[in-house]
Amino acid sequence: SHTPPHDIQQNDLWSGWSDPVTVYLGQAIGDDYEPDDDCASAQPLALSALEQERSFHRPADVDWVRLTVEAGRRYRIDAVVPPGSPADVVMELYTVCEGLPIDNWNKTFSPYARIEFDAIDTGPVYVRLSNVDGNVGGPHVRYTLSAMRLDEQKIGALIIVGGRYRTGDPLQTNIDSVT
C-alpha cells in the first residue's frame, strides 16, 4: 500500500483532497511594534531605560513612535545599532504629525542615533526613524530604541583611590594622576 504525502491526503475533515500549503520563510513581516509606518499609527515609547527591539523589516521601511513629555523637562531618545546589523538610523523629532521636524540626527555610519531636547509643551512628541539606505531592509536590519527623562537619571559612581601597593611601584604615577 502507498501513503501519499500529507499535503495531498484525503481526510475526514475535508470533503476532498487538501491543497498544498506554501510557507514563506524569511519574509519580513515586521517587529513587535508594527504597524508604525506613519505618524498616525505611531506606537508608544515608554520613558525608561528599557529598550525596544526594532527593525527596518523591508526596504524603505519607516518607524514612528510617540512619547508623552512634560514642559520644562529634558529628554533623550537613543537608537543603538547592534554589531552585525546594517542599519544606519536617521531620527527626526516632531511636535505635531503635520509639521516639520524640530530636531534630527543624520550621521552616516554611526552605531547610534541620539536626540536630546527640552520639552516646550506637555503632551506627545513624535519620532520618525528610517534607514539611511532605503534599499536595505529585512529582519536583520535591527536597532534598539529607548527614551528617558534626563533629570530623573540617578546613575553615578564613586571611586576612592588611596595609598600605594609598594614603594617604587610603576603604577603609582597613574594613581597620583587620578582626579
The per-residue pLDDT for 146 is: 96
Best CA proximity match to 151, nearest among 41, 73, 61: 73
Q: Which three cell numbers stand for residue 63?
A: 518607524
For residue 3, count other CB atoms closer than 10 A to its CB: 6
Residue 84, CB-side half-sphere exposure with 13 Å CA sphere: 2
The per-residue pLDDT for 96 is: 96
Q: Model's pTM, two decimal places?
A: 0.69
Q: How far is CA 64 from CA 43, 78, 91, in A?
A: 7, 14, 10
- CA 145 to CA 114: how far, in whole Å? 10
The per-residue pLDDT for 21 is: 41
pLDDT in tens, the chain (179 residues): 555 555 455 555 545 544 444 333 444 467 888 888 999 999 999 998 689 999 999 999 999 999 999 999 999 999 999 999 999 999 999 999 999 999 999 988 789 999 999 999 999 999 999 999 999 999 999 999 999 999 865 666 666 666 665 676 665 665 545 54
> ω into residue 35 within 30 of 0, thus cis?
yes
